[in-house]
Structure 1
Amino acid sequence: MTFNDYLDIFRNRRIGAMLVLGFASGLPLALTSGTLQAWMTVEGLDIKTIGFFSLVGQAYIFKFLWAPLMDRYTPPLLGRRRGWLVLTQIALVAGIIGMAFSPPREALWLLAAMAVLVAFASASQDIVFDAYRTDVLHKEERGVGAAVSVLGYRLAMLVSGGLALWLADRVLGWQNMYLLMAGLMGIGIVMALFAPEPEAAARPPRSLQEAVVGPLRDFFSRHGAWLLLLLIVLYKLGDAFAGSPSTTFLIRGVGFSAGEVGIVNKTLGLIATIIGALFGGMLMIRLGLYRSLMLFGILQAVSNLGYWVLAVTPKALWTMATAIGIENLCGGMGPAAFVALLMALCNRSFSATQYALLSALAAIGRVYVGPTAGYMVEAFGWAPFYLATVVFALPGVVLLWGMRGTVGRYEAEARAE
């Protein structure tokens, strides 16, 4: 592929839709994880309560349970994919507004309920967006499309994470900041209304039974299916452990203010994410799927050492900026290859259910390591914890190396479509 061919891919409507819908997909996550964690930390809640709040994200684990409904049934407007996108985004706006009016100290249980609603609607939006991305992108666009959607996702994470912290701490306060985030979801609604339809729509399941059984039968008939599932769980495990308590670590463990954490994420984090996502997409074209997964997996593990350095050195803004910059650079590169792998594994007739199952397995680490991470920090301290996260990343890299032949076969099949 020439450089001009690469630029042509970026110019088409499908890639533009990936950027904006990726943004809409990423915006709610931080509002129920890192940003909510910061709000609860500033309000003085204990680390164990904060850790257990990560369980509100269980919808990301179990979303495959209702994904068949979204494969089988089509809303009356906008088709099977875009119709569901609009419905889930409207629910997200309502849930985020509900969180804005539920302060942690005065309405903790109401806040938990609203966070669960947002997580459920966000997971449902992810089901449909992942299926839409799998259906609409041409095979030669998958690497770049994955990179661009990850870029949009990461930009949204910075807006609802770093920028949101700065706005809440210095300008708007927590309630108005959450109301602003609810308004930003309107960007996704507008794009869903005008996004292109797949050029060759796949046949939907004829019955709910086929929508439930068909995806499983199709996937588990493949060579190495069980090992592929284990790889998906382990590949980002170290990254999930490192990221789970990172906001509390920077504020309480190192001593930065919420505004300082937010402004560094907003500047260097944004630049590093853009560079990582775009460079990752270019590398995937040159390296292919397996070699990209291996390189990015190693970089994800190494980037965790930045937080260890923060834990063992005196407080300084430049060390935080370096650690966050490296993490965002690697964070922008790694998910592009991982998303391309998941798309290559999906049958378009069942793309919502299969992608939901695969991505739910990938989310196991992010959701369930929160309580474990909290206890580990209390027992061993921050520095040993972040060293351990590097070790937790190694099994996924080793398993990927052992499965290089299997991953290579799926890569070849995707190219031959």
Structure 2
Amino acid sequence: MKERWKKIYRKFSDRRIVTQLFLGFSGGLPFLLTGQTFNHWLKKSNVSLTEIGFLAIIAAPYFLRFLWAPIIDHTHIPYLTNRLGQRRSWALLSQTSLIISILALSFCNPSQNILATAFCAFLVALSSATQDIVLDAYRVEILDKSEYGIGASNYVLGYRIGIMIAGSGAIFLSTALNWNLTYRIVAVLVLVGMITILRSPEPRQENRQSNEHNSLKNKPDEQNALKWYGHTIWSILKDFSHQQKWGAVIAFIMLYKISDNLLGGMFNPFLLDIGFLDTSIAWAQNVGLWTSIFGATLAGILISRFGLFNIMILCGILEAVSNLMFVLLAKTGASLPLLYVSTIIENVTSGMAVAAYVTFLSSVCSVSSTATHYAIMTSLSSFGRIIVCLPSGWIAEHHGWSKFFSLSALAGIPAVILLFYVGPRLLNKRIDGNETDDEAAAKTT
């Protein structure tokens, strides 16, 4: 028992694991700039709940990213790829684009020109989604399979810190300065990810498909380039379809985070609507951050101890039930104690669920075309999130917050049922690299 805990400690202190903390920060930083924080800005600018809900479409790059993931997997960037390698060169390019697009958004005014604001927010989402493709692939390739659980926990920890800066930190800044200056300050913080990438090693070449003839400049003509692109997408989809019960797996990927997604999209507008001040919301988000970090760390340890399947079942149930706390808050009104209790419960369960979910995606990802495979799976997840968020503002505006949060809790049930159907054969693997009994038996027959 003591040896197992020592092994876990050694993994957490590994430089490659620690790096995931800073890369997670870089991945989490821009997410709320087109999500909760952006919706908070819109609500303060007197944009209607229905419009805020439908503006979830600006996150479309998160579910369409699989379309350009093969390019990131196989295309060389002139000069940068030779100097930094495939993954680090694309990471640096996406982070540069991210800084520029956040700065562009910082010059917008939602109350005067909502279309220009939405377009710039779309560019931020596009850059952020591209960065996510690279960072997800980098994590899968730089770590061993036995390190995926702890690596995912560290990544989620950094991700949550990035969310805190772009969430409660941005709200605090906006009360002292204004939203435009706040976005410019956040843009500068993207440099943390750039420095981390420049100081980190490139994954070993054998950890991904050979890069021979990968650069588009090696394609003799447009027809061959399109054929290469189509073959790459098709091969990944074909490989994924060979998974047992792959249809149920796809549905599960789309639905697992649905309760959390419904809550997240309308969280800040809800709190503003029932009378909370900006500073109260920001403090509650800070409390939520640290409890979600606890949840993510706990999930990494529990996955190593009890297996992925068991923890995902637990997280799926807890995450759906936690949304019911906001039904009580909607009926009670602006009660600070109840806000903190609700926030703590929701964020512990959400942090656990995110860490388990990232571990699941890493476990079923093929290393032959990591970025493309991972991007397809996360695109399915993002597609589910955006589809359910589009009418969320309309539901809240026309049916009230109590019914909205009751619906969000019920929406989490199908994912738990699907998880039982997909079964422990796919998911119940200890992240320390041990095989299940079924897998061991299969190899001997």
1:53-202 matches, within 5 Å, as 53-75=55-77, 76=81, 77-169=83-175, 171-199=176-204, 200-202=206-208
Query: Which structure is larger by alpha-carbon Rg, 1 or 2?
Result: 2
Residues 164-190 of structure 1: per-residue CA shift (max 9 Å, x gap): 112112x22111110110011000000
CA distance in 2 between partners of 1:5 and 1:412 (Å): 12
Q: In the alignment, what sits opposite 2:46?
A: 44
The answer to whether the 8 A contact 2:21-2:155 is kept is yes
TM-fit CA distance, 1:412: 8.8
The answer to whether the 8 A contact 2:309-2:428 is kept is no
TM-fit CA distance, 1:42: 0.7
The answer to whether the 8 A contact 1:144-1:282 is kept is yes
CA distance in 2 between partners of 1:355 and 1:413 (Å): 21
Residues 219-261 of structure 1: per-residue CA shift (max 9 Å, x gap): 1122222211111111111221122211100111x21022210
Q: In the alignment, what sits opposite 1:32?
A: 34
Counterpart residue type for residue 156 of structure 2: V
Q: In the alignment, what sits opposite 2:303?
A: 284
5+ residue gaps, structure 1, are none
CA distance in 1 between partners of 2:430 and 2:101 (Å): 39
Residues 263-307 of structure 1: per-residue CA shift (max 9 Å, x gap): 2212x1232022111111111111111001111111111111121
Q: Calculate the TM-score normalised by the size of structure 1.
A: 0.95
The answer to whether the 8 A contact 2:137-2:374 is kept is yes
Q: In the alignment, what sits opposite 2:250?
A: 229
CA distance in 2 between partners of 1:40 and 1:399 (Å): 36
TM-fit CA distance, 1:411: 6.4
Residues 199-218 of structure 1: per-residue CA shift (max 9 Å, x gap): 44322465534432221221
Q: Secondary structure at the match of 2:76?
A: coil
CA distance in 1 between partners of 2:14 and 2:202 (Å): 13
TM-fit CA distance, 1:388: 1.2
The answer to whether the 8 A contact 1:344-1:414 is kept is no
CA distance in 2 between partners of 1:186 and 1:415 (Å): 38
The answer to whether the 8 A contact 1:232-1:361 is kept is yes
The answer to whether the 8 A contact 1:241-1:373 is kept is yes
Pick which of 221-230 and 184-193 moved more. Answer: 221-230
The answer to whether the 8 A contact 1:131-1:351 is kept is yes
TM-fit CA distance, 1:414: 6.1
The answer to whether the 8 A contact 1:13-1:196 is kept is no
Q: 1:378 aligns with which of 390, 394, 397?
A: 397
Residue 284 (structure 2) pairs with residue 264 (structure 1): yes
The answer to whether the 8 A contact 2:105-2:121 is kept is yes
TM-fit CA distance, 1:122: 0.5
Give the paired residue count.
Answer: 414
Q: Secondary structure at the match of 1:245?
A: helix
Residue 421 (structure 2) pairs with residue 402 (structure 1): yes
Residues 117-142 of structure 1: per-residue CA shift (max 9 Å, x gap): 11001000011111111111111111
TM-fit CA distance, 1:31: 0.4
TM-fit CA distance, 1:415: 4.1
The answer to whether the 8 A contact 2:20-2:151 is kept is yes
Q: In the alignment, what sits opposite 2:267?
A: 246
Q: 2:347 aligns with which of 323, 328, 338?
A: 328
Q: In the alignment, what sits opposite 1:345?
A: 364
CA distance in 2 between partners of 1:221 and 1:401 (Å): 19
Q: In the alignment, what sits opposite 2:236?
A: 215
CA distance in 2 between partners of 1:409 and 1:244 (Å): 31
TM-fit CA distance, 1:159: 1.3
Q: 1:351 to 1:265 in 2, by over 3 A?
A: same
CA distance in 1 between partners of 2:135 and 2:93 (Å): 12
5+ residue gaps, structure 2, are 215-227, 440-445
Q: Secondary structure at the match of 1:262?
A: helix
- Report % sequence identity: 34
The answer to whether the 8 A contact 2:361-2:377 is kept is yes
The answer to whether the 8 A contact 2:327-2:402 is kept is yes
Q: 1:319 aligns with which of 338, 342, 351?
A: 338
Q: 1:393 aligns with which of 400, 412, 423?
A: 412
Pick which of 300-309 and 104-113 moved more. Answer: 104-113
Counterpart residue type for residue 275 of structure 2: G
